[in-house]
Structure 1
Amino acid sequence: MGIDIRKAAPLDAAPACNLLRRSIEQGCAPDHCGRPDILDTWLANKNPENVAAWFASPTNHAIVAERDGELLGLALLTQAGKLALCYVEPGALRIGVGRALLAAVEAQARAWNIGKLFLHSPASSTTFFERHGYANAGQEKSCFGLECSLMWKQLDADPLEADAKRKRFCNCSQ
């Protein structure tokens, strides 16, 4: 009953769009507080046609998370190192979906030789990204008018190698 991560397919566009909209409307409710000026602008480009175009772009890496055939999350990385989307179904929060998506996106970034990722995070998600090694560079107004945290993370070339470097070694005899 694990979480499966796979490349987003064209047929995923409509259900992914629905997930995006639910996540923003419900999961991000503390951020937009139901304000139509923010919510309507945030949702304006979240339609199946746009999502399909984002998934199809050769400069994007779009992935989805599933469990038992149910779509639980999606993420989209650009070749510029921007994590443009990272959303989880509101009912699937805190079960590892976001962590799995983030790990897959970071692996792709390393494969593309991207050394640093960045994103705009609403307040409700900032702690999640900080727990996963992202630094908060301060507040910026997003393109849809919400104050967000500009988050970034320097990627190590090989996470296993980085873990080995962080461990302390003892030179005493065995």
Structure 2
Amino acid sequence: MGIDIRQATPNDAQAACRLLRHSIEEGCMPDHGGRPEILQAWLGNKTTDNVLGWLASPSNYAVVADRDVDGVREVVGFALVNQAGKVPLCYVRPDLLRKGVGTALLCALEAQARAWNIRKLHMQSPGSASAFFERRGYVNAGKDKACYGLECDFLWKQLDAESAPARKRFCNCSQ
């Protein structure tokens, strides 16, 4: 399929924004069910200007998955981690799910988190995506309410290999 994972640049903002919106509108349909109040809230901050701001923040690290289509690079995935250990974005074009794109994006974020000496990552995941993250070692700690009004799962993953086995409780303490 020829997918490349690379650090996102400001030149990717418009394509990443389109990808986010498309992925939420179509790929997350089982979660929002087409309810306008949920969908509008979820998409509300998915603007090119906001993506540019996320990319400009020194506390964020974003990656894109892109591929060559007839000599033109096309963004097919976008993910972001911040220095607080949160993964607020990890989206793949719906027709490319289960092709390794999401796994490659997540691996890039985890590598950056380790480089920042972050020991745990956490996120809110729509129910339809939770199993994907669980297969990659994330612990589902239960239900949480996303800022856009959707019930989500709170997931987290211990990154350092020296740690005790994962348990449902999420804690940033040293024990």
Query: Among residues 100, 113, 119, which one is paired with 2:117 in the alignment?
Result: 113
Partner residue in 2 for 1:146: 150
Partner residue in 2 for 1:167: none
Q: Distance in 1 between matches of 2:131 and 2:14?
A: 29
RMSD across aligned positions (CA): 1.3
Q: Distance in 1 between matches of 2:75 and 2:35?
A: 27
> Which digits, 9 at most, give the CA deviation of each residue in 1:111-163, with x for residues without a partner?
000000000000110000000000000001100000000000000259xxx9x
What TM-score comes out, normalization by structure 2 length? 0.88
For this pair of structures, how many residues does the alignment match?
159
Q: Distance in 2 between matches of 1:46 and 1:3?
A: 23
Q: Distance in 1 between matches of 2:8 and 2:28?
A: 23
Equivalence map 1:68-87=2 (5 Å): 68=68, 69-87=73-91
Q: Distance in 1 between matches of 2:110 and 2:14?
A: 25
What TM-score comes out, normalization by structure 1 length? 0.89
- How far the C-alpha of 1:67 sits from its partner, in A, is 1.6
Q: Distance in 2 between matches of 1:66 and 1:47?
A: 19
Structure 2 residue 61 is the aligned partner of structure 1 residue 58: no
Structure 2 residue 46 is the aligned partner of structure 1 residue 46: yes
Cα contact 1:73–1:98 (8 A) shared by 2: yes
Query: Among residues 99, 105, 115, which one is paired with 2:103 in the alignment?
Result: 99
Structure 1 stretches (4+) deviating beyond 6 angstroms? none
Partner residue in 1 for 2:135: 131
Consecutive unaligned residues in structure 1, runs of 5 or more: 163-174
Q: Distance in 2 between matches of 1:86 and 1:157?
A: 23
Partner residue in 2 for 1:9: 9
Consecutive unaligned residues in structure 2, runs of 5 or more: 164-175
SS in 1 for 2:112: helix
Instruction: Select the structure of larger CA radius of gyration.
Output: 1
Partner residue in 2 for 1:166: none
Match for 2:29: what amino acid? A
